[in-house]
Amino acid sequence: MNTVAQKTLFERLGGKKGITSLVDDIVEAHMQNPVIQVRFLPYKEDPENLKKIKGHLVDFFSAGSGGNVAYLGRDMETTHRGMNINEEEYMAATDDIMNTLEKHGIDEESQKDVLAIAYSLKEQIMKQ
């Protein structure tokens, strides 16, 4: 029997199917979050671009969590260049991610792993 420690984070997040569901709900949470919704609501008017961005996010989460998935999108610094994301926005997005993981019943150890990844990317995302 596999324990949490023996499974990759990718597996603990439910594989590609689980991560796709998480990304859908995280993006929706961002669209509802008054701190960052202005950055995400325009995607509702461009469903093709929204689908593309969600696909990149699924691949990014999948590859970054140990899945055998290639991420072909831009790096975090390039993606966020010119956005000048501040601390409040970064924390709002991180809170949305963590709340979504909890709502999906993701175990505490996996939540901590995702949080560590989010914080490791902070300097590449903020103030670009």
Instruction: Read off the pLDDT of each residue in 25-33 and give the average, rounded to a whole number.
Output: 97
The answer regarding whether domain 7-125 maps to CATH 1.10.240.10 reads no
Give the H/E segment covering residue 124. Answer: helix 122-125
Confidence (pLDDT) at 76: 86
Distance between CA atoms of 92 and 35, rounded to whole angstroms?
Answer: 7
Within 13 Å of residue 83, how many CA atoms lie on the same side as its CB?
A: 18
Identify the residue with better confidence: 58 or 2.
Answer: 58
Distance between CA atoms of 37 and 27, rounded to whole angstroms?
Answer: 10
**Which tens digit of pLDDT belongs to each residue from 69-116?**
999 888 888 888 888 899 999 999 999 999 999 999 999 999 999 999
Residue 64 corresponds to which amino acid?
Answer: G
Spatial CB neighbours of 16, under 8 Å, sequence gap ≥ 6: 58, 62, 67, 69
Residue 124 predicted with pLDDT over 90: no
112 three-state secondary structure: helix
**Which tens digit of pLDDT belongs to each residue from 31-64?**
999 999 999 999 999 999 999 999 999 999 999 9
Distance between CA atoms of 92 and 67, rounded to whole angstroms?
Answer: 26
Are 73 and 79 spatial neighbours (Cβ–Cβ below 8 Å)?
Answer: yes
Distance between CA atoms of 88 and 80, rounded to whole angstroms?
Answer: 15
